[in-house]
A and B are shown apart, each in its own frame.
Chain A
Amino acid sequence: MFLVLSPFIVLAVGALLLMLAEAFTGSERSLSVVGSIVLFATSACGLAVWLLGTDNVDLSVLAPWIILDRFSLFFNALLPFGAALVCLLSGGYLEEHRLQRGEFYQLIFFTTLGTMFLSAAGDGLTLLLGLETMSIGAYALTAFRRTSTRSVEGGLKYFLLGSFSAALLLFGLALLYGVTGHTDLAGLRDGLAHGGALSDPRVIFALLLVLSGLAFKVSAFPFHMWAPDAYEGAPTPATSLMASTVKAGGFAMAIRVLVTAFGDPASTSWASGWPPVVAWLAVLTITIGNLIAGRQDSVKRMLAYSSVVHAGYMLVGLAAFGAAKSAAIASILFYLVTYTVSTIGALGVLILAGSHGKEAVSYEDLAGIGKRHPALGLAFSFFLLSLAGIPPTAGFFGKWYLVKAILEGGMPLLGVITVLNSVLSAYYYLRVLVFMYMKEPAPGAPKAVPMRSGEVNAALVIAAVCVALLGLRPGATIDASEEAAKTLVQ
Chain B
Amino acid sequence: MMITSDSYVFVAAILFIIGGIGFLARRNVLVQLMSIEIMLNAVNLTLVAFNRSRPENHSGQIFAFFLIAAEAAEVAVGLAIVLSLFRLRRSVRSDEADSLRN
A interface residues (Cβ-Cβ under 8 A, vs B): 124-125, 128-129, 132, 135-136, 139-140, 143, 146-147, 149-150, 152-157, 159-160, 163-164, 166-167, 170-171, 174-175, 177-178, 181-183, 228-229, 232-233, 292, 295-296, 301
Contact = CB atoms under 8 A, between A and B. Distances in A.
A177 B60 contact: yes
A418 B9 CA distance: 42
Given A146-B87, A177-B47, 20 more contacts: A124-B63, A125-B63, A129-B66, A139-B77, A149-B97, A152-B88, A153-B97, A156-B29, A156-B85, A157-B100, A159-B77, A159-B78, A160-B32, A163-B36, A163-B74, A170-B40, A171-B46, A174-B43, A174-B50, A292-B102
Contacts of B97: 149, 153, 156-157
Interface in B59-83: 59-60, 62-63, 66-67, 70, 73-74, 77-78, 80-82
Contacts of A167: 16, 19, 36, 39-40, 43
Nearest 7 pairs of A and B residues by beta carbon: A178-B50, A167-B39, A174-B46, A153-B97, A132-B70, A229-B100, A170-B43
A164 B67 contact: no
Contacts of B33: 160
Contacts of B63: 124-125, 128, 174, 177, 183
Contacts of A139: 77-78, 81
A301 B87 CA distance: 26
11 contacts: A125-B66, A136-B73, A140-B81, A156-B82, A156-B94, A159-B77, A164-B23, A167-B40, A174-B63, A181-B50, A228-B100
B70 A128 contact: yes
Interface of B: 9, 16, 19, 23, 29, 32-33, 36, 39-40, 42-43, 46-47, 49-50, 54, 56, 59-60, 62-63, 66-67, 70, 73-74, 77-78, 80-82, 84-85, 87-89, 94, 97-100, 102
A155 B50 contact: no
Q: Give the interface SS of chain B, mostly helix, strand, loop or mixed.
A: helix
Contact of B47 (A132, A143, A174, A296): A174
B45 to A, nearest CB: 9
Given A132-B73, A175-B46, A156 B66 contact: no
A175 B67 CA distance: 15
Contacts of B85: 149, 152-153, 156
Nearest to A232: B100
A467 to B, nearest CB: 28
A152 B96 CA distance: 13
B77 A136 contact: yes
A146 B40 CA distance: 28
A147 B88 CA distance: 7
A153 B36 contact: no
A296 B102 CA distance: 6
A163 B60 CA distance: 21
Contact of A171 (B42, B80, B84): B42
Max chain A Cβ within 10 angstroms of own Cβ: one of B43, B80, B82: B43
Contact of B102 (A149, A163, A295): A295
Contacts of A143: 80-81, 84
A128 B62 CA distance: 12
A125 B70 contact: no
A432 B43 CA distance: 46
Nearest to B76: A136
Contact of B62 (A125, A149, A175, A292): A125
Contacts of A156: 29, 81-82, 85, 94, 97
B16 to A, nearest CB: 6
A182 B97 CA distance: 41
Contacts of A155: 81
A125 B64 CA distance: 9
Contacts of A171: 16, 39, 42-43, 46
A317 B71 CA distance: 33
A152 B54 contact: no
Contacts of A152: 81, 84-85, 88
Contacts of A136: 73-74, 77
Contacts of A166: 74
A278 to B, nearest CB: 23
A149 B66 contact: no
Given A143-B84, A171-B42, A181 B74 contact: no
Contacts of A164: 23, 36, 39
Contacts of B23: 160, 164
